[in-house]
Structure 1
Amino acid sequence: MRAVVCKSLGPPDNLVVEEQDDLTPKANEVCIKVHACGVNFPDTLIVEGKYQLRPEPPFIPGAEVAGEVLSVGEKVRHVRPGDRVTALVQVGGFADQACAAGEAVMPIPNEMNYTQASAFPLVYGTVMHALRQRGALQAGETLLVLGAGGGVGLAAVQLGKIMGAKVIAAAGTQEKLSLAKHYGADEAINYSYGSFKDNVKKLTNGQGADVIFDPVGGDLGQECLSCINWRGRYLVIGFAAGDIPHIAANRLLLKGTAAVGVFWGAFVAREPKVNFENFEQLFEWFREGKLRPHISKTYPLEDAAQALADMRARRVTGKVALLP
């Protein structure tokens, strides 16, 4: 099989493509012929050794794949060779074969192609868990989405609208805001201009947002608790800005607000049944045409380093994928 290999931690340019032995699944694993691999911001951090998951080189990066089941281990019952699936692998995805734990493999709807499927699990799984289990978003509430032009941000815009919220999209360029509006955002804020918190308050009649979805962190994260409503929920998704914001506990107290961590990977491991229920609903919405992943670009496997560089430089809107 061909694979993208990280032999030493550092910039994406260090990655190489090489031939490796074909894979054989363990008893509880599924081996997949990979047709598409999703590219995500954490992949850029993993190859540099800057993420909480720190595999030792050499390793194959890439966390989500879609393709056809080649073989299954003796303990796997829910899929069989030939099935069309998507799967999470943590590492090992940037290759034309991947092995995934059986519980991380899901059959995909007939209406979903492999590129869409490779862009689906991580972002929609994260957002569904964030808005449903952690944020308890209700119809009629206001949802503020930071990083609204990126993968998880755009998914949050779509799911927020499906759940009946008023959605305010925040991003750093007009192109990303236009994309968010295309996918259903009611209002848009370019946080490159003016006061972010003042702009949020203007759009919420001075009340602030009920739920804030923040995959950005940094200085913007610091401002979020200044523009959140009474009993609001500030969802901590990630820190794409690089800096981790320090949350002022007095603001939580004064507004009866909750700062809520969203670690989807741990949720999947601890509550797999609830996660599968989330995906049953997500796949149903997909079949009904209510949501679609936005895939702005695809790359051949040999251009994995460029895909990660584009992701790191924030040149990506929605999702991108590698096609082995």
Structure 2
Amino acid sequence: MQAWHVHEIGEPSEVMRLTETERPTPGAGQVLLRVRAAGVNFPDALMCRGQYQVRPPLPFTPGVEICGETADGRRVIATPALPYGGFAEYAVADAAALLPAPAALDDAEAAVLHIGYQTGWFGLHRRARLEAGETLLVHAAAGGVGSAAVQLGKAAGATVIGVVGGAGKAAVARELGCDTVIDRHAEDVVAAVKQATGGRGADVVYDPVGGDAYAQSAKTVAFEGRIVVVGFASGTVPSPALSHALVKNYSVLGLHWGLYRTKDPELVRHCHERLTELAARGAIRPLVSARVPLEKAAAAVQRVAAGATTGRVAVVPGAEHGTL
């Protein structure tokens, strides 16, 4: 089979190599899956760089979420068991963690549903307790993580403000359903949020960016608001001023979704059932901006790492063409 291997640490476009190799052999409690589609995630780039909290042994195959097919023909969503990741024709996954792929979504959409939308659901509902009628501010609203939060926020009955970088991403955020879109390249984010909320601020802020975005979050969160820290795509990890949280009466909530898979896997399944229901009634649908063949996986990871894409990118083995 064909699979991408990372033999040394570095930039994805430089260290990912497409090779011919044997199909992986499942271990105890694991299954072999034919990869129908694999989602490209920022953690894939971090693993190539040796900067992710999970560091698989070299060589490894990136690709942390897939839509796959079991030997008996079931279409499933899975998180591959590294080092046998999803950027390959076959991957390995834990049998107990397999989830049925929603019938309402095609392979590429199903492949990118799991991490982004589970993260959004846990962040907005489990951690922030978002309620209908509240205002949700989403940083990087046109990106993979942000676009999921926008759709989930609208499905929950919230008013959604999306912050993006550039006119093209602003158009995408509007199509996703944002009630207000702020282009950080052309507008003062803090002033624009205060204007959109009548000076009150956002009840919930969803921040996968960190850096300057977190500083803006602290200035725009409402009384008794909640800032959900999802990641640091900017590359800068902020140091929040706890005295500011005290005097302004807001909460800073961390979210490491992966912990739920070990601490409370039944809650992960419950979330998947809710997401499947939302997909069935059309309330959510992953924005797949590009479907690329397996041979373009390294370029896709590099572009996602650079923030040069909107929505999600999916690698589809067997696809004849694709653009980025």
Q: Name the TM-score class by shorter chain.
A: over 0.9
Residue 275 of structure 1 corresponds to which residue in structure 2? Answer: 268
Deviation by residue 1:183-211 (Cα, 9 ceiling, x = unmatched): 11100111113322111111111111000
Aligned-residue offset at 1:95:
0.7
Task: Output the CA distance in 2 between the equivalents of 1:112 and 1:55.
Answer: 30
Aligned-residue offset at 1:53:
1.4
Secondary structure of 2:39's counterpart equals strand
Aligned-residue offset at 1:104:
2.5
Residue 85 of structure 1 corresponds to which residue in structure 2? Answer: 76
Aligned-residue offset at 1:110:
2.5
Residue 309 of structure 2 corresponds to which residue in structure 1? Answer: 316
Task: Output the CA distance in 1 between the equivalents of 2:161 and 2:216.
Answer: 15
Residue 49 of structure 1 corresponds to which residue in structure 2? Answer: 50
Amino acid at match of 1:238: G
Residue 3 of structure 1 corresponds to which residue in structure 2? Answer: 3
Residue 16 of structure 1 corresponds to which residue in structure 2? Answer: 17
Are 2:81 and 2:94, in contact at CA under 8 Å, matched by a contact in 1? no
Q: Which of these residues, 126, 147, 150, is aligned with residue 133 of structure 1? A: 126
Are 1:222 and 1:246, in contact at CA under 8 Å, matched by a contact in 2? no
Q: Kindly tell me: are residues 289 and 194 of structure 1, through their superposed partners in 2, closer, same or farther at Cα, counting changes over 3 Å?
A: closer
> Does residue 1:258 correspond to 2:251, yes or no?
yes
Are 1:62 and 1:90, in contact at CA under 8 Å, matched by a contact in 2? no
Aligned-residue offset at 1:140:
0.4
Residue 153 of structure 2 corresponds to which residue in structure 1? Answer: 160
Q: Which of these residues, 298, 309, 312, is aligned with residue 291 of structure 2? A: 298
Residue 66 of structure 1 corresponds to which residue in structure 2? Answer: 67
Identity of aligned residues (%): 40
Amino acid at match of 1:190: D
Task: Output the CA distance in 2 between the equivalents of 1:2 and 1:125.
Answer: 29
Residue 73 of structure 1 corresponds to which residue in structure 2? Answer: none
Q: CA RMSD in A?
A: 1.2
Residue 216 of structure 2 corresponds to which residue in structure 1? Answer: 223
Are 1:170 and 1:189, in contact at CA under 8 Å, matched by a contact in 2? yes
Amino acid at match of 1:250: S
Secondary structure of 1:17's counterpart equals strand
Task: Output the CA distance in 2 between the equivalents of 1:147 and 1:159.
Answer: 15
Are 2:81 and 2:92, in contact at CA under 8 Å, matched by a contact in 1? no
Residue 115 of structure 1 corresponds to which residue in structure 2? Answer: 108
Moved more, 275-284 or 187-196: 187-196
Are 1:64 and 1:90, in contact at CA under 8 Å, matched by a contact in 2? no
Provide runs of 4+ in structure 1 moved above 3 Å: none
Aligned-residue offset at 1:90:
5.8
Secondary structure of 1:32's counterpart equals strand
Residue 322 of structure 2 corresponds to which residue in structure 1? Answer: none
Task: Output the CA distance in 1 between the equivalents of 2:213 and 2:24.
Answer: 44
Secondary structure of 2:243's counterpart equals helix
- What runs of 5+ residues in structure 1 fail to find an aligned partner? 71-80
Secondary structure of 2:292's counterpart equals strand
- What runs of 5+ residues in structure 2 fail to find an aligned partner? 318-324
> Does residue 1:212 correspond to 2:205, yes or no?
yes
Secondary structure of 2:219's counterpart equals coil
> Does residue 1:287 correspond to 2:280, yes or no?
yes
The count of aligned residue pairs is 314
